[in-house]
């Protein structure tokens, strides 16, 4: 009977180990950590794209400013010729005046374009700053979760170590054949192969045995539940 009691002790240890292993791999922080990790990856991609957009807008604005400066220099030159008026025919003057007017129009258009680009650039910079702020918060979250998971795992692993040590002491106390049967049943019975029979009720499937069934069960070696076939430890 000692062997059966020890088997029940082993079952208790195995169940505790199973619960801890399950908790270890299903910590709520793990799902949150994975979500934060994915959010960071998405943010990194968005930040890269937003930075490229801002850079493109900066280049476009630089280009627009550069072209505007060229036009302004040209208009200045043409106006000076116009003011000097030396050696120009009436036709030349008309032509120059038209050209100056056209250049002024183009400069004005380019100014509008440059202003629009500055607006877009500011919007892009604001978007980038927003994404970077979100990234900092997400990274801090991820690091906090990482620390929490590490602390939980450390505690669980210490408890697992303690249970495994007790298991190593208990296993040799169980009859090897009984142990084989136990290991055979455990995987197919949700981890519970041995249960106590208390007041005629199986601790594994919680079904009751009649008095006659109980007598029949107690005669078996080892006793096994008629309903679920688990090993029963009778007291």
- Name the site residues for Zn ion (rule: CB under 5 A): 202, 204-205, 225, 227-228
Q: How far is the CB of 227 from Zn ion (least distance, A)?
A: 4
Please identify, using beta-carbon distances, which residue of 174 and 195 lies nearer to Zn ion: 195
The runs of H, that is alpha helices, within 171-227 are: 176-185, 211-219
Please identify, using beta-carbon distances, which residue of 76 and 198 lies nearer to Zn ion: 198
Please identify, using beta-carbon distances, which residue of 163 and 228 lies nearer to Zn ion: 228
Tell me which residue of 2, 7, 23 sits closest to 203, measured CA to CA: 7
* The pair of three-digit structure tokens given for residue 187, joined into one six-digit string: 């995987």
Q: How far is the CB of 233 from Zn ion (least distance, A)?
A: 12
Q: How far is the CB of 209 from Zn ion (least distance, A)?
A: 8
Using alpha carbons only, give the angle 1, 192, 208 rounded to the nearest 5 degrees: 75
Please identify, using beta-carbon distances, which residue of 112 and 220 lies nearer to Zn ion: 220
Please identify, using beta-carbon distances, which residue of 82 and 205 lies nearer to Zn ion: 205
The answer to whether residues 17 and 167 touch, using CB atoms and an 8 Å cutoff, is yes
Give the contacts of 8 (CB within 8 A, at least 6 positions apart): 194, 195, 196, 233
Burial code (b: 16+ CB inside 10 Å, e: under 16) for 50-60 equals: bbebbeebeeb
* The pair of three-digit structure tokens given for residue 75, joined into one six-digit string: 């208009």
Q: How far is the CB of 224 from Zn ion (least distance, A)?
A: 8
Q: How far is the CB of 26 from Zn ion (least distance, A)?
A: 27
Tell me which residue of 174, 168, 176 sits closest to 5, measured CA to CA: 174
Q: How far is the CB of 201 from Zn ion (least distance, A)?
A: 9
Please identify, using beta-carbon distances, which residue of 11 and 29 lies nearer to Zn ion: 11
Give the pairing of strands 231-234 and 201-202: unpaired
Tell me which residue of 92, 61, 95 sits closest to 103, measured CA to CA: 95
């Amino acid at each position: 009977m000692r062997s059966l009691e020890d088997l029940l002790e082993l079952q208790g240890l195995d169940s505790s180990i199973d619960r801890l292993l399950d908790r270890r791999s299903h910590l709520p922080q793990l799902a949150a950590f994975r979500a934060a990790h994915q959010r960071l990856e998405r943010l990194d991609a968005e930040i890269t794209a937003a930075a490229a957009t801002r850079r493109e807008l900066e280049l476009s604005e630089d280009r627009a400013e550069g072209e505007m400066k060229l036009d302004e220099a040209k208009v200045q030159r043409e106006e000076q010729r116009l003011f000097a008026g030396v050696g120009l025919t009436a036709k030349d003057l008309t032509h120059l005046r038209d050209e100056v007017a056209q250049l002024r129009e183009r400069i004005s258009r380019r100014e509008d374009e440059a202003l629009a680009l500055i607006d877009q650039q500011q919007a892009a910079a604001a978007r980038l700053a927003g994404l970077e702020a979100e990234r900092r918060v997400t990274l801090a979250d991820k690091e906090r979760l990482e620390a929490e998971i590490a602390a939980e795992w450390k505690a669980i692993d210490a408890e697992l170590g303690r249970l495994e040590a007790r298991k190593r002491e208990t296993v040799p106390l169980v009859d090897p054949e009984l142990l084989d049967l136990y290991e055979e049943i455990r995987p197919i019975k949700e981890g519970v192969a041995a249960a106590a029979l208390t007041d005629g009720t199986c601790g594994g499937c919680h079904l009751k045995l009649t008095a006659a069934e109980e007598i029949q069960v107690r005669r078996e070696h080892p006793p096994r539940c008629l309903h679920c076939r688990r090993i029963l430890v009778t007291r």
